[in-house]
Structure 1
Amino acid sequence: MISPMRAIAASLLVQLVLCTTARTPNAMETHQVVPDVIPVAPAGALSVSYPSGVSVNGGNELTPTQVKDEPQLSWETEPDALYTVVLTDPDAPSRQQPKFREWRHWLVVNVPAQDVARGDAVSAYVGSGPPQGTGLHRYVFLVYKQPGKITVDEALKKTKHEAKGREKWSVHAFAEQHGLGAPVAGNLYQAQYDDYVPKLYQQFTG
């Protein structure tokens, strides 16, 4: 039988741990995604792994070469729910002068569970292409739970060959427009120019 004093001490320890955890900034806050992109950090974790063998880990630095292909995502889902998946760059063309904030790298809506391939691809995946000399860019993955199936503006629809019209976008405004609420999961990495970037630019026709 646990003594009353031990029970009180255990309770105080739990409260201390919870308070400390609540005060610990997560990666979204550390890298100022909050408030640059979203007002509140996602509560859930998002696993992001690339075919190149690298994974996204709360702001780690990856190269454009490593992230050129569409990644595999995993997060905690609810039965029969639909989700929106986003990858956005708030640092276009640079973090110091983000006049094109945000640049939409990926947008998929109506995703059943974690099956991104079965969702409606609005803006096809485009990997990181930070211009030479612009330093590190933040690339932010966000997942939103939808209230139901949504239909989006035709202007947002872009193939992987279309760059024009992806700039000056706001994922937070998009979420508000479609009643998505706060993101349920997220992650981010950072990247700067490497030799793959010119090859990425060559794929764009407009």
Structure 2
Amino acid sequence: MTYDPYAALPEVPSFTLTSTSFTDGGRLALPQIAGMIGTGGGDRLPQLSWSGAPEGTRSFAVTCYDPDAPTASGFWHFAAYNLPADTTSLDEGAVTLDQAAESFPAEASLLRNDGGIAGFVGSAPPPGHGDHRYMFVVHALDVDALELDALASPGLLGFQMFGHTIGRARITGIFGH
């Protein structure tokens, strides 16, 4: 049985999330692999597009989580929140290790990932650890903005979204050594 961290959350309507960077269940490409640890990757957020968010959506949060990391808490690769309700996509590379590109919504905020960087850190399972799942999730929220401190964790973001998530879309990429 494979652990699904989203199975424990209250059920909400799903909507569609796709990517031109990878297919659901497909392998992540080199741009989405960690470069900061010498693997030659690009640490580039993949392109993401979503549609069909539920009526009443007032903002979005976007996260990337690896439940297969060899820790008791998985590994958060990316967390952004307060994306405007009219946002329907993010370009590949809209966020990298420590910066957001001009195409990233100015109203949105980035949290530090589990690597300690406010940005996207690519996949980097330990050698010999096998394939890991990288769950990219867009959360439709019923509030215009969440109030979080810049030092908040992605886990705290999840707690703050509880009770405000009215829809969720997910696509999963795979990578391993």
| Bin for the TM-score computed over the shorter chain | 0.5 to 0.7
Larger % of strand: which?
2
Instruction: Report runs of 4+ in structure 1 exceeding 6 Å deviation.
Output: none
Q: Let me know the Cα RMSD of the aligned residues.
A: 3.0
The runs of 5 or more residues in structure 1 that have no matched partner are 1-29, 94-98, 158-165, 194-206
Residues in 2 aligned to 1:31 and 1:182: alpha-carbon distance in whole angstroms: 25
Matched, 1:74 2:49: yes
Match of 1:101 in 2: 73
Q: State the structure with more CA Rg.
A: 1
Match of 1:90 in 2: 67
Contact 1:83-1:146 within 8 A present in 2 as well: yes
Between 1 and 2, higher relative CO (CA 8 Å, sep ≥ 6) is seen in 2
Following superposition, the deviation at residue 153 of structure 1 comes to: 3.7
2:69 aligned partner, one-letter code: A
Q: Please give the secondary structure, in 1, of the residue aligned with 2:81.
A: strand
Match of 2:123 in 1: 128
Larger % of helix: which?
1
1:29-178 equivalent positions in 2, closer than 5 A: 32-33=3-4, 38=9, 40=11, 43-50=14-21, 55=22, 57-63=23-29, 65-67=30-32, 68-76=43-51, 77=53, 81-93=58-70, 99-112=71-84, 113-114=86-87, 116=90, 117-118=104-105, 119-123=108-112, 124-148=119-143, 149-156=145-152, 169=155, 172-176=158-162
Q: TM-score, length-normalised on structure 1?
A: 0.56
Identity of aligned residues (%): 25
- Count of residues in correspondence between the two structures: 141
